Amino acid sequence: MSGGGGGGKPRPPPDPIAVMRGHRAPVMDACFHPSRPLLFSGAHGGGAGVYSVATNFAIGNKVVSQGRDGTCKCWEIEEAGLSRKPLVTFRTNSYHFCKISLVKSASCSSQSSKAIPASERIVESDYSINELEENKKNGVSKESIRFSDVNCAERSQAHLKDFSTMGERKLMALAGEDSSMVEIWDLATAKKLMRFPQTSNVDAASHPTMQRGMCMAIQAFIPSESGCSLNLLSGYEDGSMLWWDIRKPSLPLSTVRYHSETVLSLAVDGTCSGGISGSADNKIVMFSLDHRMGTCTMRKEISLERSGIAGTAIRGDNKIAATAGWDHRVRIYDYRKGNPLAILKYHSASCNAVAFSADSKLMASCSEDTTVALWELYPPKGTS
C-alpha cells in the first residue's frame, strides 16, 4: 500500500496556511493549548525573553514559560490573554540551553489510542471548532478541569498511588543549577522536588553523568506500563541519552549514545513507548523504549544532508513526526516507518521548534526569522 505512489510526479510540498509575524526576535518555542484554539509562542532576543513555553492538560489552564534569566514563570490564561503577572515565579538559577518539559502521560494523553478505549476517541472527534468556541464561552478553566476529570475517571482502577500524587502535583522537569543535573519542580509550590542523578555531594563530580556535559534536552513522561511512575529522558552534550526512573534516581535505567554531537531535542510519542531525538550532528534517531526490560533501542536512523535538528515533535496520533532544522527546513517523517514525507521550506532562518496541536490538525514551526508558521499536514480522518 505504501508503495502505491509510483506513477506521476509527487505533489509539491505545501505552504504554511498561516504565518504569524508578531515577534521581533527569534521565536524559540511554541505550544498549542491542549483544548482551545490557542497557540503560545516565546521569542528570545538579546538578553531577555522567553526561551520556552509549555502547557499541558495536567497543569490546567495555565502556561509555563522559561526565561534565560534563571526563572520560570507560570501564567494564568485569562479571557483576554495571559494574566498580567505570573501566578508563580520560581527561581531555578539555571542558565543553560535546555528547554523545560512538562510531564507527558501515556494514559492522560487523549490521543493515545492504545491506552484509551474507543469512547475517548469519540470525544476526540467531538472537538469541533464550534465546541471549542462554546468552551471558550463557558469558561476555560472549568472545561479544562472537566477534561481532566474525564480522563481520570476513565483511568483504570489499577493505578498506583504515587502516580496520582505525581500526576496531580503538576510537575516540571528542567536542567538544574548545575546544568548537567536534571531537576523536578513542583509547579504549584514552586519547589524543587528532586534531581537526577541523586548523589551525595562528595562524589557529585565523579558521577558518570557529570562527565556527559550539560543536559540539553529533557522529556518527562509517565508510561502506562512501568507502574505509572515518572520517567525522564535526558540528552547530553556528548550525544548520550539517559533514561531515568524516578524510583531509581541515582542511576539511569539505560544509557545510549546514538549521536556524535550534542542531543538538542527529545520527543516521546503518545504511548511513551518510543520517541525521536535530534542533535547537532546529521542524524535523526527514532528509538523505542522497552519498559519491562528498561532498555532503549534504536529503531531507525535517518541521515541528513545538513546537520542540526533543534526541535522534534511527534503528533498525538503517532502518525507523523516533525523536525526543525538549522537548515531552515521542517521535515516531516512517517513516524511508524521512518520514511520522509515532506521537506517544508518556508523559513528563512534556522528553525527552533515544532509543535503539533492536540487535535493533530495543525503544526506550528518557529524560527529565528521571527515568524511562526502554521501548517496543515495529513489531517486526521474524519475532518476535512
Partner 1 sequence: MEKEAKAGGSGREREELETLTITKVAEVSAAIDGAKHVDEVIRALHFPVDSPLVAGVILDERSRNQILSVVLPKDGERNCWKNAFYRGSAFPALSRILLYNVASKWLADFPKLARKQVYDSFFVEGPTTEIVQALVPSLKQKGSTKDDFNVICSNIERLLMLCLLENEGVRLMVGEFGLLDEQDNNILKPDKVTFISRISQLLSSIPDKVRLRASSALSSHSFFRRVANQLLTGAEERAVQLNCNAIPDAAFLFVGETFSHVCRRGSIDVIVAEVIPRILSLVQSFLSSNANLVVPDVINSNPKSHFWLNMVEAIKDQYAVEKFSEEMLRQLASTSISDVEVYWILWILFSKNFKFGSFVRGMFVDKFLLWKVFPLCCLRWILQFAVFECPPNSDAQMEGRKTPHFLNSLQLLISIWSRREFVQSSSMEQQAYLTAAVGLCLERISKEELDATKDALSNILQGVSCRLESPIDLVRRMASSIALVFSKVVDPKNPLYLDDNCCEPVDWEFGMLPQRKQIAAASHNEDENKSKLFLREDRKSASDEKKQRVIKHKSAENNALIQELADPDENRNPVEVNGEHFSGEEDDDDSSDSSLKPYDLSDDDTDLQRKFSQLGDIAAALRKHDDPDGVEKALDAAEKLIRASPDELSHNSGDLVKALVHVRCSDVAMEGEEDSAEEKRQKALVALLVTCPFESLDVMTKMLYSSNIDVGQRILIIDIMTEAAQELCNTKVVKREQKQGELVSAVSQPWYIPSSRGPPGAGPWKEVSEPGTFLSWSHRYEREIPSRPGQTKAGKSRKWSLGKAKDLQVEWSQNRFPLYAAAFMLPAMQGFDKRKHGVDLLNRDFIVLGKLIYMLGVCMKCMAMHPEASALAPALLDMIRSRDVSNHAEAYVRRSVLFAASCILIALHPTYVASSLIEGNQEISGGLEWIRTWALHVSEADPDTECASMALTCLQLHAEMALQTSRALEAADQFKAQTRTLPPKLDNIIIPFSSTKF
Minimum CB distance to partner 1 smaller for 144 or for 226: 226
Minimum CB distance to partner 1 smaller for 14 or for 22: 14
Minimum CB distance to partner 1 smaller for 207 or for 336: 336
Rounded distance between C-alpha atoms, residue 240 and residue 238, angstroms: 6
Minimum CB distance to partner 1 smaller for 146 or for 337: 337
CB of 223 to partner 1, least distance (A): 11
Minimum CB distance to partner 1 smaller for 70 or for 338: 338
Which residue in 104, 68, 136, 154 sits closest to 267, CA to CA?
A: 104
Footprint of partner 1 on this chain (CB under 8 A)?
A: 1-5, 9-14, 113-114, 271, 273-274, 282, 288, 297-300, 302-306, 318-320, 327-329, 332, 334, 336-343, 345, 348, 378-379, 381
Rounded distance between C-alpha atoms, residue 241 and residue 250, angstroms: 15
Per the CB < 8 A criterion, the answer to whether 334 and 341 are in contact is yes
Minimum CB distance to partner 1 smaller for 97 or for 378: 378
CB of 31 to partner 1, least distance (A): 24
Minimum CB distance to partner 1 smaller for 14 or for 208: 14
C-alpha cell at 26: 527569534
Secondary structure (3-state) at 260: coil
CB of 216 to partner 1, least distance (A): 23
- Helix and strand element counts for the chain (H, E): 4, 26
CB of 220 to partner 1, least distance (A): 20
CB of 282 to partner 1, least distance (A): 7
CB of 346 to partner 1, least distance (A): 10
Minimum CB distance to partner 1 smaller for 255 or for 307: 307
Query: What is the CA angle 103-108-109, rounded to 5?
Result: 85
Sheet with strand 18-20: strands edge to edge = 18-20, 372-376, 362-367, 351-356
CB of 369 to partner 1, least distance (A): 11
CA 34 vs CA 108, 145, 186, 315: distances in Å: 12, 12, 20, 13
Rounded distance between C-alpha atoms, residue 13 and residue 276, angstroms: 22
Rounded distance between C-alpha atoms, residue 272 and residue 268, angstroms: 6
Per the CB < 8 A criterion, the answer to whether 282 and 331 are in contact is no
CA 307 vs CA 115, 195, 340: distances in Å: 36, 31, 16
Per the CB < 8 A criterion, the answer to whether 332 and 313 are in contact is no
Minimum CB distance to partner 1 smaller for 156 or for 211: 156
C-alpha cell at 338: 521512518
Rounded distance between C-alpha atoms, residue 272 and residue 113, angstroms: 12
CB of 196 to partner 1, least distance (A): 25
Residues contacting 168, CB < 8 A, separation 6+: none
CB of 106 to partner 1, least distance (A): 11
